[in-house]
Amino acid sequence: PFPSIMASSLRLACVGLYVALSILTLARAHDDDDDHMHCQFNGTDGNEYDLAPLKDVEQFYNLHDHFVGWDGVSREHVYYFDICAKATNVLVSECTGVNNTKLPVYACQLAYGRADVYSLGDSQTLSLFNSTTENKPLDAGDHGVLIRTLGGIGSECPNDSERQLDLWLECDPNANTIWRAPKNGIEHLGICEYDILAKSPHACRKCVEEDYNKTVVSPLPEKEGDSSCREDGNYTVRYKKKDGAMCAGGVHGGVNVTHDLNERCDPENCPVGFERKIVHPDFPECQACLPGKSTLGDGKSSCVDCGIGQFSDQHGEWIFRHRAGCCVKPVRQRLAVTVYAGSRCYPC
């Protein structure tokens, strides 16, 4: 009986370990999901913002601050930080404590003359700033997103205050995000608050359809008022961002000019082989069905699998061009003495 009891105990232990690991995995995934959602927010101006592209799960950002102290000695402080990710969720981070264990913080400071790493905060908030925002550095720009990290260690700070780090991201749709110190320095002397600046497209609102002008590339109408549609009900168009549109991402990926796009003149009535999708509120688009799928005629909102004995291994655009839908008979090819099912199908 002893081996049996031991085996049962071992199985129970394994099950318990599996459940524990599963719970841990779910908790971490949940934290990651929260961080991702935390990076996306609706501003007080009614627009959507998304800073998720700035989240770095490989390594913390860092900025070295060189300065001359009151005693005339040159010193260096280093600031490590991330956006929407704590050190515990990042592969490499210098924000560590005892036994080199990662601290559950968004930012930390390694200061000249101190052996310990100082936490700059374990909570983070995102908000908009403008030219009238209080305590904004003079060279932080007129508008953008303020990422404030709060709850840092209060050692050596006045009036029982805690350290905090403010990342001032100025909206610039064409900028590369490069961190820098303000002209007046990172540290507000004596009050344990630190400022870091950057220009970034991710500090701009997400683009919407109203930020673009659409131009018909072909076919061009012969005279004003004529339809530009081809016989198949499609036309080729191009979208260009309007001058002065301070946005990034969102509709059309936020690019200044799109590629030439083949669109249905009337997206409410997509042709066979295309399904109607809402890609932005009140903006439908005809999207080609995947191979093996088609629509049951024109004007359908979803692709369906081809039935038994029917198939279509072509993209929806081929299906439409040949008005094929799902094929009943495959083309068969003879190679040597072997007969293969063809990779194309005839129109029904």
Question: What three-state secondary structure class fits 145?
Answer: strand
Residue pair 84/99 in contact (Cβ under 8 Å)? The answer is no
Three-class DSSP labels, 200-241:
EHHHCEEECHHHEEEEEEECCCCCCCCCCCCCCCEEEEEEEE
What is the full per-residue pLDDT of the chain (348 aa) written as tens digits? 434 444 444 444 443 443 343 333 322 323 444 444 579 999 999 999 999 999 999 999 999 988 776 667 777 889 999 999 999 999 999 999 888 899 999 999 998 777 789 999 999 999 999 999 998 999 999 999 999 999 999 888 888 889 999 999 999 999 999 999 998 888 876 688 999 999 999 999 999 999 999 888 887 766 555 556 776 667 888 999 999 999 999 999 999 999 988 877 776 677 777 777 776 666 666 777 776 777 776 667 788 877 655 655 555 555 555 544 555 444 333 333 322 233 333 333
Q: Is the omega angle on the peptide bond into residue 137 within 30 degrees of 0, that is, cis? A: no
The predicted pLDDT at position 270 comes to 73
Q: Which residue has the tokens 């000695």?
A: 73
The predicted pLDDT at position 43 comes to 94
Question: What three-state secondary structure class fits 348?
Answer: coil
- Calculate ∠ Cα 125-128-133, nearest 5°: 105
The full DSSP string for 3-38 is HHHHHHHHHHHHHHHHHHHHHHHHHHHHHHHHHHHH
The predicted pLDDT at position 42 comes to 94
Going by their DSSP bridges, the two strands 338-345 and 330-335 should be labelled as: antiparallel
The full DSSP string for 158-204 is GGG---EEEEEEEE-TT-----B--TT-SEETTTTEEEEEEEEGGGS
Question: What three-state secondary structure class fits 322?
Answer: helix
The predicted pLDDT at position 190 comes to 65
Residue pair 286/267 in contact (Cβ under 8 Å)? The answer is yes
The predicted pLDDT at position 17 comes to 41
